[in-house]
Amino acid sequence: MAIEIERKFLVVGEGWRQPDAMHLSQGYLNRDPARTVRVRIAGEEAFLTIKGRSEGLSRAEFEYPLPLADAQALLALCDGPLVEKHRHRVMVDGLLWEVDEFHGANAGLVVAELELQSEDQPFTRPAWLGEEVSDDARYFNSQLASRPFNTWP
């Protein structure tokens, strides 16, 4: 088990774009925020990830590699449509930002995530960083499967 400490932001402009972005396809065997169970295919790799309920910016996380064929079969068992996105990895002053550009029913949404060692860890704000949405449950990927961005009022 690990504790994931994460901040999440909207972005402005296009300065986060990387030519080698990786395609991610993911679905949920449970979308309950108290026990999220995610199946993800990232390029040729696949993972099963279980997360507990968020407490502040922190959340218990358990991640295990999956055989690719299992992951493909498990995605077919998932609840609701898959979340499809490209992940752009951007280093800024020694910290890695993961900028997710969503597709399908979430097209138009781009979210930047930063994993930290502690909740009060300082970090450089890149020019393309927008509003923080760490506490906004609508932006949980597990919720974007059931209530995609394009359906928001």
Residues labelled as active-site residues? 28
Q: How far is the CB of 103 from a second copy (least distance, A)?
A: 24
Closest approach of Cβ 137 to a second copy, in Å?
18
Q: Where are the beta strands (DSSP E) in 12-136?
A: 22-30, 35-42, 45-52, 58-65, 83-92, 95-102, 110-116, 129-132
Taking the least distance from each CB to a second copy, the nearer of 32 and 136 is 32
As measured in angstroms, the least distance from the Cβ of 6 to a second copy is 18
The candidate with the shortest Cα–Cα distance to 44, out of 17, 25, 68, is 68
- Of 21 and 48, CB closest to a second copy: 48
Q: Between residues 41 and 129, which has the closer beta carbon with respect to a second copy?
A: 41
Using the minimum distance from each CB to a second copy, give the nearer residue, 27 or 126. 27
- Binding residues for a second copy, rule: CB under 8 A, are 1, 29-30, 32, 34-35, 37, 48, 50, 52, 60, 62, 64, 66, 69-70, 73-74, 77-79
- 3 state SS of 153: coil
Closest approach, Cβ 81 to a second copy, in A, equals 15
Q: Rounded to 5 degrees, what angle do the CA atoms 5, 8, 10 make?
A: 170
**Alpha-carbon separation of residue 115 from 6, 65, 71, 82, 152 (angstroms):** 4, 20, 25, 24, 27
